[in-house]
Amino acid sequence: MKLRRKRVRPIALDDVTIIDDARLRKAITAASLGNAMEWFDFGVYGFVAYALGKVFFPGANPGVQMIAALATFSVPFLIRPLGGLFFGRLGDKYGRQKILSVTIIIMSLSTFCIGLIPSYASIGIWAPVLLLLAKMAQGFSVGGEYTGASIFVAEYSPDRKRGFMGSWLDFGSIAGFVLGAGLVVLISTIIGEESFLSWGWRLPFFVALPLGIIGLYLRHALEETPAFQQHVEKLEQGDRDGLREGPKVSFREIATRHWRSLLACVGLVIATNVTYYMLLTYMPSYLSHNLHYPEDHGVLIIIAIMIGMLFVQPVIGLLSDRFGRRPFVIIGSIALLVLAIPAFMLINSNVLGLIFAGLLMLAIVLNCFTGVMASSLPAMFPTHIRYSALASSFNISVLIAGLTPTVAAWLVEASDDLYMPAYYLMVIAAIGLITGITMKETANKPLKGATPAASDIHEAREILQEHHDNIEQKIEDITEEIAKLEERRKNLIQQHPHINE
């Protein structure tokens, strides 16, 4: 039976997607707001952990209270892989926009409900149980949130600006964290610590509901991403029926065919999020509980550090479009490996300026990771499995990273060594370095399974010419390889007595 070879049509100027600036800005705003709300909760939770420990675990000593409150933060990460599998499959089936609208509803409602939970003194053991259930609902929705938002922005962005545009997603994360932490400081300053422990800690969680409503409005008004629309349009009617049934590729097949991408994703997510949670979730508790630094001073330092990160974040994204994503992962990993112990020496000095310098070192390292993560991850997988593969691998990795605050607190308590978090970060730096060295460079390239995307017609012409030049170079390389193989073939034939040309 003779197989028919499918004729591939040359890519023309009409095949290059021109991204509308207004739609792009709306997409980034909508995606970033949802991510900001996710980290708003993390910011609030990290900065009120001491209060939650007293409200929901009143019978334990202060150290155990802190660990218990941070454990309630970490346990929902066990649910995130399930949410990733669930929403990832739906995202590849129904599209990115619809799923992001659902996740922001669940996320805002579950955060709002935390503020409604009575204290342990009122309902006993049901108080921490309800807190855990609310955090698990958060974890389930967040399982599809960040990956969906990063895919949404990546599929809307021009190829040459994907790093810069993607960096605004984690800009939203940091901004949400600053908003959450700042709100905690503002409320506690106005009403006093006693009132804050009594009822004031609830107020920041109530803010999540109006933020969620705004985010839902923005996401609902958006169209589906160009890359996903192209994917659907390319399918024949029979394949469209298959699309409605969901992705036909199993996770096992993804792991077999795309194992390099999966490992790169896991490594980058672990390096980024362990550093993230160590600096922004664990450090407030470390400063107040372990170093006995005044809580309000420690909070203000962290907020100042995070505001500085907001300015660095888009700069890293912009530079990654010029120099690539890999250099920043490698530089950040080496810096974390070398500077982790010096940073904690400064943090433990009990001198305000030195504490700030130590935290700033870790913050700049973190910017190297967050500045490129949102643009790197979606480029690792093709369109038809992008949401499923990325959500699964991302949330398995975050499951490990999410244990950081609890593990760090336990290590310090168990060993009585204030440098345990630094050693922890050095191990993570080694993982990041291996990832940066082995991952493929994706800057300025089309997403897998999608046509090139440009900001305007002039850029589209340049991209098309670069594409044709790349094809010509590949043809020359293949021609050279064929010549080498032909020469080798002749040499082998000459060595065999019964084979003639």
pLDDT value at residue 250? 60
Percent of the chain exceeding pLDDT 90 equals: 18
Quick check: 10 pLDDT over 70? no
Show the 3-state SS of 219-238: HHCCCCCHHHHHHHHHCCHH
Alpha-carbon distance of 121 to 118, in angstroms, equals: 8
- Residue holding tokens 């500077």? 339
Quick check: 239 pLDDT over 60? no
pLDDT top residue among 434 and 57: 434
pLDDT value at residue 337? 95
Q: What is the DSSP string of 176-224?
A: HHHHHHHHHHHHHHHH-HHHHHHTGGGHHHHTHHHHHHHHHHHHHTSPP
C-beta of residue 29 within 8 angstroms of C-beta of residue 476: no
Alpha-carbon distance of 367 to 370, in angstroms, equals: 5
Pick from 230, 237, 159: nearest CA to 15 = 230
- What is the pLDDT averaged over residues 25-54? 75
Digit-coded pLDDT (tens) for 109-120: 888 888 888 877
- Provide the 10 A C-beta neighbour count for residue 402: 24
3 confidence band (pLDDT: 50, 70, 90): very low
C-beta of residue 143 within 8 angstroms of C-beta of residue 80: yes
CATH superfamily of 19-455: MFS general substrate transporter like domains (1.20.1250.20)
Alpha-carbon distance of 423 to 171, in angstroms, equals: 28
Contacts of 443-446 spanning 24+ positions with Cβ under 8 A = 443/162, 443/163, 443/320, 443/321, 443/323, 443/324, 443/325, 443/375, 444/159, 444/160, 444/321, 445/159, 445/379, 446/159
Quick check: 1 pLDDT over 50? no
**Does an H or E element contain 278, and which?**
none
346 confidence band (pLDDT: 50, 70, 90): very high
369 confidence band (pLDDT: 50, 70, 90): very high
Quick check: 477 pLDDT over 70? yes
Residue spans of the domains in the chain: they are 19-455, 456-501
Digit-coded pLDDT (tens) for 66-92: 666 666 666 676 777 777 778 777 777
Range among 20-29, 131-140, 154-163, 249-258 with highest mean pLDDT value: 154-163
Q: What are phi and psi of 282, to 5 degrees?
A: -85, -35
- Residue holding tokens 């170079």? 473
